[in-house]
Structure 1
């Protein structure tokens, strides 16, 4: 497959850095009485970032054991294994994601035939690898689900495309690229899918400026979001 360079976005586009503080509280770090979203009392649970001990429970041990047997580079490719909220997540070394997906799809004991989604997450303020790509796989044969996650830096946001393994990743990787700026190397046509081709920046990154335009009503004008609330 011929690698195509992504177009329609400037990876170095400037963005405003949001103020620190208030992390984990409310929806946007708002203070005082300015929160009209209804999320002012929200307390967000921090992501689990440590290995889960065996036994994992359910059929999770069977899935992990089958992958370890099917994929020779298991120990070098798996950064950690986490079971949280009844879901099994394998954190994959970014360079190995396509290889791991190949084994998960093809091995008779695994048979994760369907990639149902590819999405992005920005853990701004965590570590250097703040951008995460998340893959949800389903085994129609064994009625199992598994979650894969890769962490990369915003300065070098590259991952191998899995479109050759899962054709359903085509538009999903394009949307993740469009919103988060994650570049999927080897994608057949990595272009914007939601934003205009000449749009600068990636709207779902946490340091992307809110912007907006004022809305005029009869006898009143409502300023854009970045001028009427404090956001995190």
Structure 2
């Protein structure tokens, strides 16, 4: 099934925008970030696939390569199928102010709202077009992104020691 899906997506979006990585338990489709939202709408609305459920979005930090990835786990409840999409992002100047950007899919699946906010809060990935992109787990004035591999723990927060000895 996955080969047919990949062929269909390559015909619709272009061979250079879609590739397949075969996995042990599940294959992954690598997608170019510029077609992400349109591709997700197609996967959700197509009667052939109907991926109506976004189960999870995971952010991955490939430090020191200045590369991030977002992994989208999709499911079609009526067809009882699952798939994984991965989008890779490169950041030229890796700083806390220079956030990697990717289009939001919150307009496609409402559950993306919370998943994207978590990836923003903990990994510092900016989702363009997100309806309410703000921290979800940490305080608004927290500095840095704790799940990045280059994150250094602060000594204190508002005068309260937070680093163990």
TM-score category of the 2 structures, normalised to the smaller one: 0.7 to 0.9
Question: Could you tell me which residue of structure 2 aligns to residue 73 of structure 1?
Answer: 13
1:150 partner SS:
strand
- Structure 2 partner of 1:162: 105
Q: CA deviation at 1:94?
A: 1.3
Aligned twin of 2:84: 147
Matched ranges for 1:25-174 at <5 A: 59-69=1-11, 72-78=12-18, 80-126=19-65, 128=66, 130-152=67-89, 153=91, 154=94, 155-174=98-117
TM-score by length of 1: 0.61
More strand by share: 2
Q: State the distance in 2 between where 1:85 and 1:196 align.
A: 39
Q: Please state how far the C-alpha of 1:125 moved relative to its aligned partner.
A: 2.2
Query: How much has 1:150 moved relative to structure 2?
Result: 1.2
Extract unaligned runs of 5+ from structure 1. Answer: 1-58, 214-222, 228-232
Which structure has more RCO (C-alpha within 8 Å, separation ≥ 6)?
Answer: 1
Deviations 1:2-52 (A, max 9, x none): xxxxxxxxxxxxxxxxxxxxxxxxxxxxxxxxxxxxxxxxxxxxxxxxxxx
The residue number in structure 1 matching 2:136 is: 193
Q: Deviations over 1:111-152 (max 9, x none)?
A: 1111111121101123x4x11111110011221111111111
Gaps of 5+ in 2: 157-162
Q: Between Structure 1 and Structure 2, which shows a larger proportion of helix residues?
A: 2
Contact residue 120 and residue 126 of structure 2 kept, 8 A: yes
Give yes or no for contact 2:99–2:124 (8 Å, CA) kept in 1: no
Q: Which protein has the larger Cα radius of gyration, Structure 1 or Structure 2?
A: 1
